[in-house]
Chains A and B, each alone.
Chain A
Amino acid sequence: MRTWGSMEEFEAFLDAGGIVEVGDDMPHEYRQAVFAFIEMHANSELMGGLTERDWIPRTPGLRHKMSVLAKTQDEIGHGHLLYMVAADMGIKTRTEMLEDLFAGKSRFHNVFHYQAVTWGDQVAIAFLVDAAALASQQAVFKNCSYGPYRRILKRIISEEGFHMRLGEDRMMRIAEGTEAQRKLFQDSLDRWFWPALQLFGPDSKPNDKLLRWHIKSERNEVLRDKWVQKFVPMLHSYGFTIPDPDLRFDETTRKWVLGEIDWEPLKRTLANGGPDSTRRISEARDNYERSGWVREALAQ
Chain B
Amino acid sequence: MTATTSLLDRCRQAIATVDDPEYPGVSIVDLGLVESLDVRGATATVGLIPTFSGCPALDMIANDVHRAVSQVDEISTVEVKWLSAPVWSVDRLAEGTQQQLAVDFTVAVQIGTGPVLCPRCGTATSHLSMFGPSRCRSVHRCESCREPVEVMRS
A residues neighboring B (CB under 8 Å): 21-23, 63, 66-67, 69-71, 73-78, 80-81, 84-85, 88, 148, 151-152, 154-156, 158-159, 161-162, 165-166
Can you identify 26 A-B contacts, CB atoms within 8 angstroms? Answer: A23-B145, A66-B54, A67-B56, A70-B54, A70-B55, A71-B56, A73-B131, A75-B133, A77-B132, A77-B137, A80-B129, A81-B132, A81-B133, A81-B139, A84-B148, A85-B148, A151-B106, A154-B105, A158-B21, A158-B22, A159-B134, A162-B21, A162-B57, A162-B60, A165-B21, A165-B60
CB contacts (< 8 Å) of A161 on chain B: these are 21, 24
Q: B67 contacts the other chain (Cβ, under 8 Å)? A: no
Query: Which positions 1-49 of chain B face chain A at CB distance < 8 Å?
Result: 21-24
Please report the C-alpha to C-alpha distance between residue A151 and residue B56 in the assembled complex, in whole angstroms. Answer: 24
Please report the C-alpha to C-alpha distance between residue A22 and residue B142 in the assembled complex, in whole angstroms. Answer: 12
- Of chain B, the residue at the smallest CB distance from A84 is B148
CB contacts (< 8 Å) of B55 on chain A: these are 70
Q: B69 contacts the other chain (Cβ, under 8 Å)? A: no
Interface size, chain B (Cβ < 8 Å): 28
State whether B131 touches A155 (Cβ < 8 A). no
Please report the C-alpha to C-alpha distance between residue A159 and residue B60 in the assembled complex, in whole angstroms. Answer: 13
Q: B81 contacts the other chain (Cβ, under 8 Å)? A: no
CB contacts (< 8 Å) of A154 on chain B: these are 104-106
1/0 per residue, CB under 8 A from A, across B125-153: the answer is 00001011111010101000111101000
- Of chain A, the residue at the smallest CB distance from B141 is A84
State whether A70 touches B129 (Cβ < 8 A). no
Please report the C-alpha to C-alpha distance between residue A16 and residue B76 in the assembled complex, in whole angstroms. Answer: 53
- Of chain A, the residue at the smallest CB distance from B135 is A73
Given the known A-B contacts A73-B135, A155-B150, are A162 and B22 also in contact in the complex, defined by CB atoms under 8 Å?
yes
CB contacts (< 8 Å) of A80 on chain B: these are 129, 132-133, 139
Given the known A-B contacts A22-B146, A80-B139, are A73 and B21 also in contact in the complex, defined by CB atoms under 8 Å?
no
CB contacts (< 8 Å) of B129 on chain A: these are 80
Cross-interface CB contact of A70 among B56, B107, B137, B139, cutoff 8 Å: B56
State whether B56 touches A81 (Cβ < 8 A). no
- Please name 6 further chain A to chain B contacts, defined as beta carbons within 8 Å, in addition to the given A151-B147, A159-B133, A162-B22, sorted by A numbering: A74-B134, A80-B133, A88-B146, A152-B148, A154-B104, A166-B56
Q: B74 contacts the other chain (Cβ, under 8 Å)? A: no
- Of chain B, the residue at the smallest CB distance from A155 is B105
State whether A158 touches B24 (Cβ < 8 A). yes
Q: B59 contacts the other chain (Cβ, under 8 Å)? A: yes
Please report the C-alpha to C-alpha distance between residue A162 and residue B20 in the assembled complex, in whole angstroms. Answer: 10
Please report the C-alpha to C-alpha distance between residue A76 and residue B137 in the assembled complex, in whole angstroms. Answer: 13
- Of chain B, the residue at the smallest CB distance from A21 is B145
Given the known A-B contacts A84-B141, A161-B21, A162-B22, are A66 and B56 also in contact in the complex, defined by CB atoms under 8 Å?
yes
- Of chain B, the residue at the smallest CB distance from A154 is B105
Please report the C-alpha to C-alpha distance between residue A81 and residue B135 in the assembled complex, in whole angstroms. Answer: 15
CB contacts (< 8 Å) of A71 on chain B: these are 56
CB contacts (< 8 Å) of A21 on chain B: these are 145
Please report the C-alpha to C-alpha distance between residue A156 and residue B150 in the assembled complex, in whole angstroms. Answer: 12
- Of chain A, the residue at the smallest CB distance from B150 is A155
CB contacts (< 8 Å) of B131 on chain A: these are 73, 77
